[in-house]
Amino acid sequence: MAGNTIGKLFKLTTFGESHGEAIGGVIDGCPAGLKINKDFIQLELTRRKTGPSFFSSNREEKDEVNFISGLFDGQTTGAPLAFVIKNINAKSDDYETIKEIYRPSHADYTYDKKYSIRDYRGGGRASARETVARVVAGAIAKQVLEQSQIKIIAYVSQIGSIKLQKTYKELDFKTIESNFVRCPDADTAQQMLDYLEIVKNNNDSVGGVITCVVSLCPIGLGEPIFDKLQADLAKAMLSIPSVKGFDYGSGFDAASMLGSENNDIFVIDNNQQITTKTNHSGGIQGGISNGEDIYFRVAFKPIASIMKEQQTIDRNKNQVTLKIKGRHDVCAIPRAVPIVEAMAAIVFTDHFLRNKAYLFDKK
């Protein structure tokens, strides 16, 4: 079974290559009667595209989304929503020189071996450009989630070794978009920017971490034993290009904690509702949302395309020196913020519908 579909009830299938005619997707399972806000979708696409002018790649795409089907009078009809974003500014000539070369830590080699044929232009199907389709689907998912109250917010919490020291509760999410690195803490953001300047001058790239917070999630999302909420989130995140790790709640830190530290004591809040004193569980217990904030971290490796010269191998096993042309991101993490949100929105919409299917008044 090929792997270009994600979700069970809210199902996204994507298609398209970096330098093909278009990137696109089909959403099957979007509830009918939803008024689609296209401006919002465009806004999300812009967030994905935007980074600090001097850190971003030089490919300029309008990223206008065109819906081919599934909408009538601006509303979803229950039919599949197909959409495309044209590739306009693809300069395939840039890639002619490297069509035989396996770029280090790219997918060139594995695609070649798996499929015996490879669209080498701009990374083909393996390019991060594919994520525009995820962002469109995520923007629609976010609109479905408005039916409940679920809110999904992500931000950059680490670039290189510079880590945001505050927890998400201490941050003002409104400031996320106020700086180029999408870090909601002015001091840390400045340190990150300064550091990126150095990395850029060294013709290098650097990794980082995105933290995502999902609030107001109803109790009950997640389908044990295998489709636990955290399991589907992990899969969705690890499917994003360059992602190397995922943890939620106390995460990897839980490994060095005692049970008495990590356990979340149940208490009654001021509204006489059950809540927990701490939230090391990250809003999920037994694979099911418990009504607390869900938060998780996504680790990204540095972009593999660096401006430094690198040694590598070509298809014919010749040693070659690679000097990547064009300009590439020094750090893609800020631009990945809307992608993380989009994938989370798809997972939550899917689980929202999955949970709803089984809820009914018993006789």
> Which of 113, 166, 323, 325 touches a copy of itself (CB under 8 A)?
113
Residue 193 found at the interface with a copy of itself (CB under 8 A): no
Q: Which of residues 54-93 bind a copy of itself (CB under 8 A)?
A: 66, 68-70, 72-73, 75-82, 84
Instruction: For residue 242, give every residue at least 6 positions away whose Cβ sits within 8 Å of its Cβ, in sequence order, or none.
Output: 128, 300, 301, 303, 304, 332, 336
Q: Report the Cα 335 to chain-centroid distance in Å.
A: 9
> Which of 190, 215, 251, 327 touches a copy of itself (CB under 8 A)?
251
> Which of 150, 288, 339, 342 touches a copy of itself (CB under 8 A)?
288
Q: Which residue's CB is nearer to a copy of itself, number 43 or number 267?
A: 267
Q: Which residue's CB is nearer to a copy of itself, number 62 or number 113?
A: 113
- The 10 Å Cβ neighbour count of residue 238 is 14
> Which of 151, 173, 193, 245 touches a copy of itself (CB under 8 A)?
245
CA-nearest of 217, 214, 213, 344 to 291 is 217
> Which of 44, 55, 98, 102 touches a copy of itself (CB under 8 A)?
102
Which amino acid, 251?
Answer: G
Q: Which of residues 329-358 bind a copy of itself (CB under 8 A)?
A: 353-358
Distance CA 209, CA 163 (A): 9
Least CB distance from residue 217 to a copy of itself, whole Å? 12
> Which of 6, 176, 214, 342 touches a copy of itself (CB under 8 A)?
6
Distance CA 296, CA 291 (A): 15
Q: Which residue's CB is nearer to a copy of itself, number 45 or number 284?
A: 284
Q: Which residue's CB is nearer to a copy of itself, number 52 or number 207?
A: 207
Provide the token pair at 276. Answer: 């927990």
Residue for token pair 């070509």: 314
Distance CA 296, CA 343 (A): 13
Distance CA 340, CA 134 (A): 9
Residue 26 found at the interface with a copy of itself (CB under 8 A): yes
Q: Which residue's CB is nearer to a copy of itself, number 29 or number 175?
A: 29
Least CB distance from residue 9 to a copy of itself, whole Å? 5
Q: Which residue's CB is nearer to a copy of itself, number 152 or number 322?
A: 322
Residue 169 found at the interface with a copy of itself (CB under 8 A): no
Distance CA 325, CA 94 (A): 7
DSSP state of 172: -
Residue 327 found at the interface with a copy of itself (CB under 8 A): no
> Which of 126, 150, 294, 337 touches a copy of itself (CB under 8 A)?
126
Least CB distance from residue 168 to a copy of itself, whole Å? 17
Q: Which residue's CB is nearer to a copy of itself, number 172 or number 270?
A: 270
Burial class (CB in 10 A: 0-12, 13-18, 19+), 141: buried
Q: Which residue's CB is nearer to a copy of itself, number 174 or number 311?
A: 311
Q: Which of residues 139-168 bind a copy of itself (CB under 8 A)?
A: 146-147, 158-161
Return left, alpha or beta for 135; rule: phi > 0 is left, psi -120 to 50 is alpha, else beta.
alpha
11, containing H or E segment: strand 11-16
